[in-house]
């Protein structure tokens, strides 16, 4: 996908070479001569919503779009757009109607002077950029997260708050309130939250049609949906953070029989960036978790978000940001190595566990991720997995023993579940332990692979090891006599000790 600057430069060349610009300008000018007097005659009622002006405004422009001037304009635009489309596709009238609704008609209602030549230039640019380069902006609401910094920019995504003005502009609230009521997003609750923001290339078989099916619905499906790649990559990074919050307890690390709380993503907001498409439906902001505010007389006087589970002060925000940047950098290292793709698959499974609202599925996805990271088709797999989990997590001898015991119990539960057992409430700790162990193993594996990449680049290792080599090296970590004779195991051991 080319950059926006390249697309703009190519568009200018394309526009200069087009001999249809003058006739397009004339056609837009002729159409505006139909629209402008009707808007003036309509008066200032469009801004009096209490007078039911919202639908009358829409009717006004729909009547204009039945005129001969509109049909002439559409013919000119279609002749311009069709050659840019893949073979067999054509520019539909609904696309041009959407463009006028999202780009022109609001200025008409404001009685802002419009220049036909400028609109023609804008229209042709939008046609070119939509076909060759446009982006969809996705905002995943992170409920339960509060940071001390209002905006953090990472390699492939942002974490930020939005002002009311920014949200209304991005989500085209004013345009939608007139022409697309189903897409009107109420912003007052949205201002209280942080968002994961990603920008995704607008890929579709028909460039002028927003590929909304890629997003399933305004909400994230928590089970088996295939998320857009850019969004899933960002969520995989966030899932690596130690979100293992539980209420205060004196219980040992792997004996916590409590619920654990994770940030929720109740829905996403989507701005298509394609002015020829219809917007996606608005999400249900009532799904957000709010609590009432009472005055001294116990009268309810308002609402506020329920207390954030993860409310990070400045120092904690800095630690969180540093960790997220490290995760993102390490994932970028492995993404260029085909030998290490197994980690990406495991991170995808761990993300499914993180998003799952079912305890059963959460546990199974986490254990599956562990097997993807450390498993092999060998006899005594449970013992092999338990030992590797113990060795890669590291720490004191007492913790290693506790890790091995927790994994063995967890794997027994996993086997019971896949053979028809029911996950009872007395096994809450296994759900929590599955998350603790999977996250820690994934984090350590990323650190190991980053260390190996440095060793290969510096010449300490002659070749890039594959998955089997790395697992063999983990098995050798505690073999004191042979580790110095096995350079890869030495690199793995050093990485584990540094990250423990």
pLDDT of 315 > 60? The answer is yes
Q: Residue 253: which pLDDT band, with cuts at 50, 70 and 90?
A: confident
Out of 77-91, 118-132, 455-469, least confident range: 77-91
- Quick one: tokens of 209? 């049609």
Q: Which carries the bigger pLDDT value, residue 270 or residue 446?
A: 446
The residue to which tokens 């996606």 are assigned: 280
Identify the bridge partners of residue 135 per DSSP, sorted by sequence position.
201
- Quick one: tokens of 446? 């990323």
Cβ atoms within 10 Å, residue 169: 13
Out of 128-137, 394-403, 466-475, least confident range: 128-137
pLDDT of 54 > 60? The answer is no
Q: Are 196 and 238 in contact (CB under 8 A)?
A: yes
What is residue 30's predicted lDDT score, i.e. its pLDDT? 96
What is residue 251's predicted lDDT score, i.e. its pLDDT? 66
Cα-based torsion angle of the residue sequence 412, 416, 419, 423 in order, rounded to the nearest 10 degrees? -140
pLDDT of 347 > 90? The answer is yes
What is residue 53's predicted lDDT score, i.e. its pLDDT? 45
Q: Which carries the bigger pLDDT value, residue 18 or residue 99?
A: 99
Taking residues 223-229, what's their average pLDDT? 61
The rounded Cα 266 to chain-centroid distance in angstroms is 12
What is residue 152's predicted lDDT score, i.e. its pLDDT? 98
Out of 18-27, 95-104, 120-129, 158-167, least confident range: 18-27
The rounded Cα 284 to chain-centroid distance in angstroms is 18
Contact partners, residue 304, CB within 8 Å, separation at least 6: 192, 290, 291, 293
What's 481's DSSP letter? T
pTM listed for this prediction: 0.86
Residues of 332-370 as b/e, b for ≥16 C-beta within 10 angstroms?
ebbeebeebebbbebbbbbbbbbbbeebebbbbbbbbbb
CA-to-CA distance for 325 and 446, rounded, in angstroms? 13
pLDDT of 500 > 70? The answer is yes
What is residue 471's predicted lDDT score, i.e. its pLDDT? 95
What is residue 216's predicted lDDT score, i.e. its pLDDT? 43
Contact partners, residue 453, CB within 8 Å, separation at least 6: 333, 334, 337, 464
Taking residues 446-467, what's their average pLDDT? 94
CA-to-CA distance for 358 and 480, rounded, in angstroms? 43
Q: Residue 222: which pLDDT band, with cuts at 50, 70 and 90?
A: very low
What's 242's DSSP letter? -
CA-to-CA distance for 34 and 73, rounded, in angstroms? 12
For the chain, what is the mean pLDDT? 84
């Amino acid at each position: 996908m080319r950059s926006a600057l390249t697309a703009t430069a190519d568009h200018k060349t394309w526009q200069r070479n087009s001999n249809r610009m003058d006739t397009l300008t004339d056609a837009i000018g002729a159409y505006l001569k139909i629209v402008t007097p009707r808007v003036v005659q309509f008066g200032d009622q469009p801004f009096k919503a209490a007078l039911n002006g919202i639908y009358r405004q829409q009717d006004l422009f729909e009547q204009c779009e039945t005129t001969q001037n509109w049909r002439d304009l559409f013919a000119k635009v279609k002749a311009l757009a069709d050659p840019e489309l893949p073979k067999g596709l054509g520019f539909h009238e609904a696309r041009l109607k959407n463009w006028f609704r999202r780009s022109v008609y609001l200025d008409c209602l404001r009685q802002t002077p419009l220049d036909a030549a400028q609109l023609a230039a804008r229209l042709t640019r939008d046609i070119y950029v939509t076909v060759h380069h446009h982006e969809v902006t996705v905002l995943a609401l992170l409920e339960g997260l509060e940071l001390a910094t209002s905006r953090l920019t990472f390699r492939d995504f942002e974490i930020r708050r939005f002002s009311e003005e920014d949200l209304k502009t991005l989500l085209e609230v004013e345009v939608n309130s007139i022409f697309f009521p189903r897409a009107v997003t109420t912003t007052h609750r949205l201002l209280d939250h942080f968002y994961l923001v990603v920008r995704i290339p607008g890929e579709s078989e028909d460039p002028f049609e927003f590929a909304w099916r890629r997003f399933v619905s305004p909400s994230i499906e928590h089970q088996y949906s295939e998320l857009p790649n850019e969004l899933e990559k960002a969520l995989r990074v966030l899932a690596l953070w130690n979100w293992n919050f539980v209420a205060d307890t004196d219980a040992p690390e792997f004996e916590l029989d409590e619920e654990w709380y994770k940030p929720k993503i109740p829905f996403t907001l989507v701005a298509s960036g394609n002015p020829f498409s219809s917007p996606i439906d608005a999400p249900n902001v009532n799904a957000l978790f709010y609590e009432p505010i009472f005055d001294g007389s116990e009268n309810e006087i308002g609402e506020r978000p329920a207390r954030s589970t993860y409310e990070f002060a400045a120092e904690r925000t800095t630690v969180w940001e540093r960790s997220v940047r490290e995760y993102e950098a390490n994932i970028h290292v492995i993404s260029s190595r085909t030998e290490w793709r197994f980690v990406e698959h495991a991170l995808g499974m761990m993300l499914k566990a993180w998003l799952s609202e079912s305890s059963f599925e959460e546990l199974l996805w986490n254990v599956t991720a562990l097997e993807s990271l450390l498993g092999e088709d060998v006899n005594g797999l449970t013992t092999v997995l338990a030992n590797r989990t113990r060795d890669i997590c590291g720490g004191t001898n007492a913790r290693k023993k506790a890790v091995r015991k927790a994994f063995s119990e967890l794997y027994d539960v996993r086997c019971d579940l896949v053979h028809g057992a029911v996950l009872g409430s007395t096994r809450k700790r296994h759900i929590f332990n599955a998350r603790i162990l999977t996250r820690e193993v994934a984090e350590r594996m990323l650190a190991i692979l980053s260390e190996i990449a440095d060793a290969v680049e510096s010449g300490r290792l002659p070749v890039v090891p594959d998955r089997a080599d790395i697992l063999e090296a983990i098995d050798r970590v505690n073999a004191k006599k042979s580790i110095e004779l096995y350079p890869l195991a030495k690199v793995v051991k050093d990485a584990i000790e540094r990250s423990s």
